[in-house]
Amino acid sequence: MKTVREVAVQLENKPGALSAIAELLGGAGINILALTVTATGEIGRLNFVAPDPERVANILEGAGYEPRIQEILAAGPPRHPGGLNALLKALKLANISVEYLYSWIGTSISARNTIILLGVNDLAGAHEALSREWIQLYDEELYRF
């Protein structure tokens, strides 16, 4: 099954919290390839994809954070009007809930393709549903784009 590992970490919802992580990772030569940030009240959450998630987690732990590595899907919806819905409809028909999604901000492939990162309630079921609909799925090859 093709999946990508993302790093998830909780942050204080205050000015500079995200900048501190970006500075920490940038100083270690880590390039964030895709990310989403949500905040509710005093707590925020950063989910992101970067090469070598274990190294990223070690860097974050060394700085006092509590990162978690989890598997998600990286899917390339068709490039036409309604392409995103082709991906979402396949999940709907398989009774898969999308818990969150975000898009790729990397450089080389993003000029040609859209890549959507998906956290879902049933990883294997979502993988099967998207594969059945010929949706392009990526694995760790994504870290090299």
Residue type, 132: R
pLDDT band at 108, cuts 50/70/90?
A: low
Is pTM beyond 0.85? Reply is: yes
The mean per-residue pLDDT over the stretch 109-129 comes to 86
Using CA atoms, how far apart are residues 36 and 57, in angstroms rounded to an integer?
17
Residue 144: predicted pLDDT = 77
Phi and psi dihedrals of 126, rounded to 5?
-65, -40
Residues 6+ apart with CB under 8 A from 47: 6, 7, 8, 35, 36, 37, 100, 102, 119
The mean per-residue pLDDT over the stretch 105-113 comes to 59
Domains of the chain and CATH, by start: 4-69 (3.30.2130.10), 71-144 (3.30.2130.10)
The mean per-residue pLDDT over the stretch 15-35 comes to 95
- Indicate if the pLDDT at residue 141 is higher than 90: no
52-95 pLDDT, tens digit each: 999 999 999 999 999 999 999 999 998 888 889 999 999 999 99
